[in-house]
Amino acid sequence: MGLALLLVSALAGAAPDVAETWAKLQAELPADPARRATVLLRFAANDQAALGDRLRAARAARAHAPRRAASHLAEARLCGVSGQLGARARALGRAAAALGKDGERARQEHVQRVRAADADLSRLRQLVDVREKSAVPPPLTPADEGLRRQVSDALPAWQALDDERQLAAARVLLARLRASTGDAAAAEQELAAIAEHSAGRDRAAVRVEAQRARAVLLEQRNDLEAAALASLGADRDAAVDVKKPASRQFATPYQKSKASLELCRRARAQGVECGRAEQRRFGSTLHYDFSKEPRGTFDPAVNNEVLADYDTLLRECVRTAVKERVPLTQTLIELEWAVGQDGRVPGYDLRPTRLRGTSYDRCLRAAFDVFRYPPYAGEMQHVRLSFEVGGEL
């Protein structure tokens, strides 16, 4: 049996409906030790469950001796997801020892090779980080080339161990290294492919790293729209919290990072509207939570930044209202809204008055509920906006 099947064989025969919490899993565990270990390992492989519960299940499966190596490997993979590299190395060491005790010498050597490859990967990350901080990175030294080859040669080893997260992380670092040597176009394509094909919650952090690196490379070649979309895609993946069950993690519009906000500002200066591009690409828009900024005075320049970030919501209200035959076309719309000292919008005024109570009005209410300004001291401020809705949107 190939090493790639080591975990898969341990999971065979489990029920298709897998529990998502430790409490539910406990209620479903069978008494038979072999079946119990199978269910525990299947739970550990389920990325919809919370990471802590999955680690607990992987460790509990050790009680069944024939599944001991598989349980250590599952633990090692999960430690990689959480970034606990020391714990991952120890789990791999225990897996190798268990395989040796079982007489599985070839698999023991393979796991030991993966453990050594993990150490090479850590060294590669340090090398890439240093090179990316240099305005003009020097050519790779023979030692650097050797390290690159060692990590490249280890890709099949991670794949054979069914460690897709570590495999993707290695590919991202190799692409970033390639970019630092001047082959930015090919590196960007590799990063795009990695981000697209690395599905699942366990690999969310890898997708974030790939997209952040892509955004830098795309901006360097002045493709600001694509760069912004890559950064916003990273923001979406950065919101994934593997410490929580998937069913208990709720979406929020305030996922836009400061990096994406500033990138969108630079894009706007060149005529690129991030919000429209984001709506086309993702079907929704993320927003920066300005209310988390330090309290200061109400700054008109910052007000313009807030409006630029949230304007997509107001535009979408207009488009939806026109589709619903609300009489907006050829109409001068005037909006005035208050900005509370906490950065929220407690109320607004809409003119012409005939639009009040319409679906457009209700959409505006929902949009202004999302708006967030920086907190400020002093008397309450108001913002005014007027625009005419033409015949084409």
pLDDT for 390 equals 76
pLDDT at 391: 55
Look-up: residue for tokens 């492989």? 45
Give the confidence band of 251 by pLDDT, cuts at 50, 70, 90: confident
For the cut 70, the answer to whether the pLDDT of residue 6 exceeds it is no
pLDDT tens for 36-86 read: 999 999 999 999 999 999 999 999 999 999 999 999 999 999 999 999 999
Lowest mean pLDDT, pick from 225-234, 252-261, 322-331: 322-331
Nearest alpha carbon to residue 81 among 244, 254, 203, 241: 203
Domain limits of the chain? 1-132+139-180, 182-288, 290-298+311-389
pLDDT tier for residue 16 given thresholds of 50, 70 and 90: very low
CA angle 193, 258, 367 (to 5 degrees): 95
Q: Token pair of 53, please?
A: 């519960």
Q: Are 359 and 324 a contacting pair, CB within 8 Å?
A: yes
**CATH of segment(s) 1-132+139-180:** 1.25.40
Write out the two tokens for 243: 């410490």
For residue 8, is pLDDT > 70? Answer: no
- Residue 12 has what pLDDT? 33
Which of 392 and 201 is assigned the larger pLDDT?
A: 201
Query: Is the confidence at residue 250, as pLDDT, over 70?
Result: yes
Specify the pLDDT at position 20: 86
**Neighbour tally for 38: CB within 10 Å:** 23
pLDDT in tens, 216-233: 999 999 999 999 999 999
Q: What are the residues whose beta carbons fall under 8 Å from the beta carbon of 311, sequence distance 6 or more?
A: 275
Q: Per-residue confidence at 7, pLDDT binned at 50, 70, 90?
A: very low
> Contact at 8 Å (CB) between 81 and 51?
yes
Q: Which element (helix H / strand E) includes 348?
A: strand 348-351
Residues in a beta bridge with 386? 334
Number of C-beta neighbours around residue 289 at 10 A: 16
Nearest-CA neighbor of 236 among 268, 283, 189, 304? 283
What is the band of 15 on the pLDDT scale with cuts at 50, 70, 90? very low
Cα separation, 134 vs 141, whole angstroms: 15
Residue-level pLDDT at 223: 97
Classify domain 290-298+311-389 by CATH number: 3.30.2420
Q: Are strands 381-389 and 348-351 parallel, antiparallel or unpaired?
A: unpaired
pLDDT(5) > 80? no
Quick one: tokens of 201? Answer: 């919650």
Please say if the pLDDT value at position 93 is more than 50: yes
pLDDT one-digit tens code per residue, 149-179 = 999 999 999 999 999 999 999 999 999 999 9
Using the predicted structure, report yes or no on whether residue 129 has a pLDDT greater than 90.
Answer: yes
Q: Is the peptide bond before 352 cis (omega within 30 degrees of 0)?
A: yes
pLDDT attached to residue 260: 98
Is 70 exceeded by the pLDDT of residue 88?
yes
d(CA 165, CA 74): 12
What is the pTM assigned to this prediction?
0.89
Question: Percentage of the chain surpassing pLDDT 90?
Answer: 90
Q: How far apart are CA 108 and CA 6, in angstroms?
A: 12
**Which H or E element spans position 160?**
helix 142-160
**What's the pLDDT at 311?**
94
